[in-house]
Amino acid sequence: MNPMRLETYARTETGRIRPTNQDAVGCFPEMGLFAVADGMGGHDAGEVASKMAIEHLRKSFGRSAGRAEEDRLVDAIASTNNRIFVAGHPEERPTARPMGTTLVTLFLSASPKRATWAYVGDSRLYLLRKDKLTLLTADHTRYGGKFSGGREIPLELPHTNELLAALGIDPWVEPGRGSDGWKTGDVFLLCSDGVSGLLAPDEIHAHLSSDSPIDEIGECLIEDSLEAGGSDNASVVVVRVRG
């Protein structure tokens, strides 16, 4: 008997300022796999990169069943990075503009009861457990880098525009990573900076701690981001674990 039941919700919105949506979301509960990507690289390149990241991640991760979860995620991200890098640096078009994307991923396994995550860039993963909100990812920025290596990451970690890593920029990338056992009642939020950059930690906490249906929680996160100005594309994947 599978001890894990997931309630999930995913949505991405253009926002009120940007002309296009360069975010993409991946919600594959049948695989236990979830992801958010925030593309960069001009009018269409970012949109291509983020969608490519989600689709290639799903395929690559699906082909690696049977290996350790963290290795599967890291290898899938490495493969995805290579695919985007090659697409943005074609030999036949040496002057083509490179494209890139952030990517945050989460894998939940039923046996063992494990949550595993890996990420590149500043899209974030939050965990609400027993009414405590925790930020599990340290942005790949100069400020976020201070909290790598197991140090507790402050919820007030500021967003900056100085990304030090993203998929597709270099032929090799080192993802941040982590893992922990999941517990019944855990709520995970993967989001782009169009959400985490506009909502205060206490607002995120209030939404994730609600007993509302998971789709209402996700809708409120997006709508509040739009009400806060909607200055960027806004994307969320919300996952609640039920026993």
Nearest to 53 by CA among 89, 82, 92: 82
Percent of the chain with pLDDT over 90: 77
3-state percent breakdown (helix, strand, coil) of the chain, nearest 5: 30, 30, 40
Q: Going from the N-terminus, what domains does the chain have, and what CATH number goes with each?
A: 5-242 (3.60.40.10)
pLDDT band (50, 70, 90) for residue 95: low
Nearest to 89 by CA among 99, 81, 79: 99
pLDDT of residue 197: 95
pLDDT in tens, 71-84: 999 999 999 999 99
Question: What count of Cα atoms within 13 Å lies in the side-chain half-sphere of residue 234?
Answer: 23
- Using left for φ > 0, alpha for ψ between -120 and 50, and beta otherwise, residue 91 falls in alpha
Mean pLDDT of 199-214: 97
Cα(136)–Cα(179) distance, integer angstroms: 9
In one letter, which amino acid is 107? F
If you average pLDDT over every residue of the chain, what do you get?
92
Q: What's the Cα-to-Cα distance from 28 to each of 33, 108, 232, rounded to whole Å?
A: 5, 11, 25
Beta strand segments in the chain, E = 5-13, 23-28, 33-40, 100-109, 114-120, 124-129, 132-135, 176-180, 187-191, 234-242
pLDDT of residue 94: 60
The more confidently predicted of residues 85 and 94 is: 85
